[in-house]
Amino acid sequence: MRVLASAPAKVILFGEHSVVYGKPAIAAAIDLRTFVEAELRDDGRIRIEAHDIKVPGLTVSFSESEIYFETDYGKAAEVLSYVREAINLVLEEAGKKTGVKVSITSQIPVGAGLGSSAAVAIATIGAVAKLLGLELTREEIAKLGHKVELLVQGASSGIDPTVSAIGGFIYYEKGRFENLPFMELPIVVGYTGSSGPTKELVAMVRRRYEDMPELMVPIIEAMGKLVEKARDLITAELDEEEKLRKLGELMNINHGLLDALGVSTKKLSELVYAARTAGALGAKITGAGGGGCMYALAPGKQSEVATAITIAGGTPMVTQISREGLRVEATMP
């Protein structure tokens, strides 16, 4: 039997990084997906085919008679650790020891702040669980995805695997989530083209937090309050235009606070300011930062903002919120 499952990327609208310190955050699944096909193998081996991962630095040297591969295979194995841990956890949960092959294709840029690690973990868990006949709820799958991120990254709030498993628009705090009323968000995502590993950025913020708690604690507190304000706005009976304008203002404040944490870069700031100048109501980093992506809220100005992002050297993506999280696409004999 073969199973094909998919899971979506996400944007964190408010509260990245502070969510790791137990503060709330708001995120939405978006319509870019990672697809994982899983099938049993009877030789007991785990085989992973990752079609979108580029490991830099394949080096060979050769003389007339010999060829040497100098590539760091340790690095290649490390890149697949989200998938490996996801498979191991499901096998453990099912109490089974069997060979599995998974094949991955993805539409999500890697290390770009759009939750590619969570999507690959959730789609793998979903596909392998179905393959083994293990009945898991989306919440249970989200919890296993959180475990995978904790094992690989050392620290994770769990928001990315939760939104990837559940889908839609959510408010998240310390492992619990609530669905927010669905709203059309006219957003444009801007990709800097470079990546920032979440593990390293979270560790960098932790160092700054421990070095200067007297400065960092109030910043994290302010981020938490800002997220609560954003939730009140999203759920309020307000005129749509007024709502989006106020949310934009909160995005700009959130971006400034993230800059104070040290996770912005020159390129991210350039894309943020280009979007604001082109008429976005607000623009900020999304995800871990250090490269990766920003997003802008731009009702009626999405194409102007996309052009401004391109001129500033980024790649714009006009995306929609995905109501669906983990999806089993097909089960084949």
Ligand X SMILES: Nc1ncnc2c1ncn2[C@@H]1O[C@H](COP(=O)(O)OP(=O)(O)OP(=O)(O)O)[C@@H](O)[C@H]1O
Q: Residues, the chain, total?
A: 333
Distance CA 101, CA 99 (A): 7
Nearest residue to ligand MEV on Cβ basis: 157
Q: Which stretch binds Mg ion (CB under 5 A): 61-69, 166-174, 186-194, 196-204?
A: 196-204
Structure tokens at 173: 């705090």
Q: Does residue 156 bind ligand MEV (CB under 6 A)? A: yes
Using CB under 6 A as the binding rule, whether residue 292 contacts ligand MEV is answered as no
The reply to whether 118 sits in an annotated binding site is yes
- The region, left, alpha or beta by phi > 0 then psi within -120 to 50, assigned to residue 262 is left
Residue 197 interacts with which of ligand X, ligand MEV, Mg ion, none, CB < 5 to 8 Å by class: ligand X
Spatial contact of 122 and 137, defined as CB atoms under 8 Å apart: no
User: Rule CB under 6 A: is residue 39 a binding residue for ligand MEV?
Assistant: no
Give every CB contact of residue 219 below 8 A, 6+ residues apart in sequence.
257, 260, 261
Cross-strand pairs, 101: 39, 47
Is 160 labeled as catalytic in the residue annotation? yes
- Find which of ligand X, Mg ion, ligand MEV, none residue 52 binds, CB within 5 to 8 Å per kind: ligand X
Residue 110 contacts ligand X per CB under 6 A: yes
Tell me if 254 contacts ligand MEV by CB under 6 A: no
Interface residue with ligand MEV among 3, 5, 19, 317 (CB under 6 A) is 19
Q: Does 202 bind ligand MEV (CB under 6 A)?
A: yes
Kindly tell me the sign of the dihedral angle through the C-alpha atoms of 293, 298, 303, 308.
negative
106 binds ligand MEV (CB under 6 A): no
Helix (H) or strand (E) holding 270: helix 266-277
User: Binding of ligand X at residue 168 (CB under 6 A)?
Assistant: no
Query: Tokens 């604001």 correspond to what residue?
Result: 276
State the Cα–Cα distance between residues 287 and 198, nearest whole angstrom.
8
Distances (CA, A) of 234 to 14, 29, 231, 241: 12, 16, 5, 12
Size of the site for ligand MEV (CB under 6 A): 14
Site string for ligand X, 36-75 (x = CB under 6 A): --------------x-xx----------------------
Nearer to Mg ion, 9 or 216 (CB): 9
Residue 112 in marked binding region? yes
- Provide the annotated active-site residues: 160
Question: Which residues make up each annotated binding site?
Answer: 109-119
Question: Which residues make up each annotated binding site for ATP?
Answer: 109-119
